[in-house]
Amino acid sequence: MRPSESSVDTREFVRQLAEENRAFWRDRDVRLEPVAPREVLERQLRYRMRQGVYNELRAAELIAAWIPSVREREIRELLPRQLDDEQRHYQLLRRRLLDRGEDPDGYEPLPEWEALFDWLVAARSRPTIEKLAMFQFAGETQSCEGFETLIRLAEPIDPETAELYRAQILPDEYRHAAIGRHALLVLADTPEIRARAAEAGREMNRRVAEAYASHRRRADRGG
């Protein structure tokens, strides 16, 4: 069967939006500094793990908040597994910090990072496609990139942590990003909906990029 005009347009839209995201993020994730002295990198990695515990917990919270408002059955049925993954990631990272002799619960989130998750939780009332364009498509795609960098830089410093991210977290995060892509392919079937989805993704990217710069400043101070 020949794909309909609209499905061709939708695939092209998703391809272009993915490209736009990649272009936006080129050199914008400033959280880790590849050429930093070892102790700086160690501090940045430690900060990322502590922040990661918070992120995974909030990710679980926001997916739980969104599920009741996602009416599209084939999207909704993908979300409980994601919720389960985020909860497991939270526990894995928490356990790893404890094994390193660190306090996983003493991390105070940056106000702007906390506000980002509060904004995402409150987005439960927005259309499904906007929510998934924001978190799964834009946010989780960027976090896969971020984890790839983290794994590469953690390898020589803390191989066990690098392996935890590589084997037990990253594969799930790629699947979460794919849920976002799938939602766009299924739901972005008119120019108006595509425009709203693209704008929602851009809004997410802008907010995340602003917060990354504050995270870096704090990690470098030893936060």
Chain positions contacting Fe ion, by CB under 5 A: 56, 86, 89, 173, 176
Task: Report how far residue 223's alpha carbon sits from residue 214's, in angstroms, rounded to the nearest whole number.
Answer: 11
Q: Name which of 144, 126, 146, 147 is nearest 136 in CA terms.
A: 144
178 closest CA partner among 62, 40, 81, 35? 81
Nearer CB in complex with Fe ion: 29/173: 173
Q: With b meaning 16 or more CB within 10 Å and e meaning fewer, what string describes 3-28?
A: eeeeeebbeebbeebbeebeebbeee
Task: For Fe ion, give the closer residue by CB, 40 or 178.
Answer: 178
Min separation Cβ 144 and Fe ion, Å: 9
Least distance CB 12 / Fe ion (angstroms): 26
- Asked if residues 60 and 87 have their Cβ atoms less than 8 Å apart, the reply is yes
Shortest distance (Å) from residue 2 CB to Fe ion: 35
Of 144, 135, 114, the closest CA to residue 218 belongs to 114
Going by C-beta distance under 8 Å and a sequence separation of 6 or more, which residues neighbour residue 119? 207
**Min separation Cβ 175 and Fe ion, Å:** 8
Q: Which is nearer to Fe ion, 116 or 193 (CB)?
A: 116
Furthest-apart CA pair in the chain: how many Å? 59
CB-nearer residue toward Fe ion: 130 or 173: 173
Residue among 81, 59, 212 at smallest CA distance from 149: 212
Distance between CA 48 and CA 30 in Å, rounded?
12
Q: Which is nearer to Fe ion, 58 or 194 (CB)?
A: 58
Closer of 9 and 174 to Fe ion (Cβ): 174
* CB 199, min distance to Fe ion, A: 22
For Fe ion, give the closer residue by CB, 13 or 54. Answer: 54
The distance of closest approach from Cβ of residue 86 to Fe ion in the complex, given in angstroms and rounded to an integer, is 5
**How far apart, in whole angstroms, are the C-alpha atoms of residue 116 and residue 120?**
6
> How near is the Cβ of 160 to Fe ion at its closest, in Å?
18
